[in-house]
Amino acid sequence: FTPTRFLLMINYWNYSNKRLIIYISVDYLQQYYHLQNDPLGRMKRSGPSFTSKVKDMQIFFGLNVTGRLDSDTLEVMRSPRCGVPDVEEYSNTRGTRWNKNVITYSIGRYTRDLPRSTVDSLIESAFSVWARASSLTFVRSNARSADIMVEFASYAHGDLFPFDGPGRTLAHAFGPGSGIGGDTHFDDAERWTAGETGFNLFVVAAHEFGHALGLKHSRNRESLMYPNYKPFRSANLLSSEDVAKIKALYSKHFALFPQLMQDKCAADLTFDAVSILGDSTFFFRERHHMYILINKTCIFIRILFSWTDSMFWTVKGSLVKGKPRALSHFGFPVWVQDVDAAVHIAKTGRTLFFMHDIYWSYNENRKVMDFGYPRYISEGFPGLNSTINAALHKDGFIYFFVGPQVYKYDYMQKLVVGVEKANSWLGC
């Protein structure tokens, strides 16, 4: 056993390890961020496309955005997770929601890791998580035509999304729709349990059923819809974000108008969007509710149409112009399916888009995103450290609606110059 032989072994190990890293990273980005295959079928970890996808993944998981395969990035890539991509193009059968509040499910093939009665109980409990947070009712059916078909399978199992054996991909689900829509599959190569060892079926099933109901992955680590598997939690499986999103998707929308007019002065009142059209200011809440302030008089309206997060409409005056278009029109990365707030600043010719803790700047004259974005909100807007719900530019200031408060922001001096209650804008 010579030093030369030892060095050759070390070099071979390093070469093999690098090849493994390349394989893991390319496979990960192809599956979850739609990295395109190399034309010659080679594994590559260089080039603008690969670097861009690494950055997209790093932004999604709140990592240091380098575009390189650093240790933190590789650790996330190796973590067990849901098989649904983070960029939400999993299937052309995906829909927004079920157009009914009673949803049927059926269990097909079982796992041998747990008794059938235990699987039945855990699946029922996972559906109950969403039932308690919404107006939905889940009914088990023995029919193969149930809305949500639940099955355990291994490797290729007939849906064009094969499992990868023990390890990374635990399960996947399809969004609401006909055919395969709603169906939920668990990788039977994993070790399924009802406790803290292996992978807890209740936790994974609850996550996947969120997809089957129309929810997307969340960047919030506290959310059940965060893509990576987290150890078993005995209580509060749903975060406040999860509850808000399922309610917004399946709300019954039958609250009485007088009560909603009283609620406009509630101390915890929040808005999802604010905009000025002519002499009127529009305040949007929970997709279907809108307050209009006209000459200091507040009017409540129930919106009779809905919209999807990934689309936008162009409005001129009081008229909607043309058909809805995808957010990708602005040049967002493909994983951006919605934004929290947007505000146009006429003086600079820029529209700012905010999502979680980052923001983009769109050049309205050149019709492109400015270089160097996204950036962190806390860096571009010192004094703002929370998710922005809505934003409005008025009289030279930007008003940021953050929860029940509004921050008056001097954009030129980069300074918060005032704070007030959101309900004060409705005359409260």
Sorting pLDDT into bands at 50, 70 and 90, what band is 411? confident
**What was the pLDDT predicted at 95?**
44
Q: Is 329 annotated as a binding residue?
A: no
pLDDT above 70: residue 233: no
Q: Is 225 annotated as a binding residue?
A: yes
The dihedral sign for the CA sequence 229, 233, 239, 245: positive
> Around 229, how many Cα atoms within 13 Å sit in the side-chain half-sphere?
26
pLDDT above 50: residue 414: yes
Burial 345-369 (b: 16+ CB within 10 A, else e): beeeebbbbbbbbbbbbbeeeeeeb
The SS3 of residue 207 is helix
CB of 63 closer than 8 Å to CB of 76: yes
Is the backbone of residue 253 left (phi > 0), alpha (psi -120 to 50) or beta? Answer: left
Sorting pLDDT into bands at 50, 70 and 90, what band is 120? very high
- Give the active site residues: 208
Q: Is 165 annotated as a binding residue?
A: yes
Separation of alpha carbons 414 and 65, rounded Å:
24
- 166 phi, psi to nearest 5 deg: -60, 130
Identify residue 423 by its one-letter amino acid code.
Answer: N
Query: Stretch 225-254: mean pLDDT, rounded?
Result: 79
Q: Is 183 annotated as a binding residue?
A: yes
**What was the pLDDT predicted at 220?**
87
Per DSSP, 203 falls in state H
Identify residue 186 by its one-letter amino acid code.
Answer: F
How confident is the prediction for the chain on average, in pLDDT?
A: 81
Separation of alpha carbons 357 and 379, rounded Å:
10
Look at the chain and count its residues: 428
Q: Is 113 annotated as a binding residue?
A: yes
Give the global pTM: 0.61
Peptide bond into 333 cis (omega under 30): no
Domains of the chain (ranges; CATH) run 3-78 (1.10.101.10), 102-250 (3.40.390.10), 257-426 (2.110.10.10)
Which tokens is 316 given?
């001129």
The SS3 of residue 2 is coil
Q: Is 187 annotated as a binding residue?
A: yes
The DSSP secondary structure of 162-182, one letter per residue, reads: ---SSSSEEEEEPPSSSTTTT
Sorting pLDDT into bands at 50, 70 and 90, what band is 337? confident
3-state secondary structure 48-73: HHHHHHHHHHHHHCCCCCCCCCCHHH
Q: Is 82 annotated as a binding residue?
A: yes
Which tens digit of pLDDT belongs to each residue from 152-199? Answer: 999 999 898 999 889 889 999 999 998 899 999 999 999 999 988 899
CB of 283 closer than 8 Å to CB of 291: yes
**What was the pLDDT predicted at 94?**
40
Q: Is 420 annotated as a binding residue?
A: no
Q: Is 188 annotated as a binding residue?
A: yes
**What was the pLDDT predicted at 143?**
79
Separation of alpha carbons 203 and 183, rounded Å:
17
Question: 406 - beta bridge partners?
Answer: 401, 420
Q: At what angle do helices 71-78 and 48-60 cross, to 10 degrees?
A: 70
> Around 69, how many Cα atoms within 13 Å sit in the side-chain half-sphere?
18
* Lowest-pLDDT choice from 93-97, 220-224, 312-316: 93-97
CB of 281 closer than 8 Å to CB of 292: yes
Q: What value does the CA radius of gyration of the chain take, rounded to a whole number of Å?
A: 24
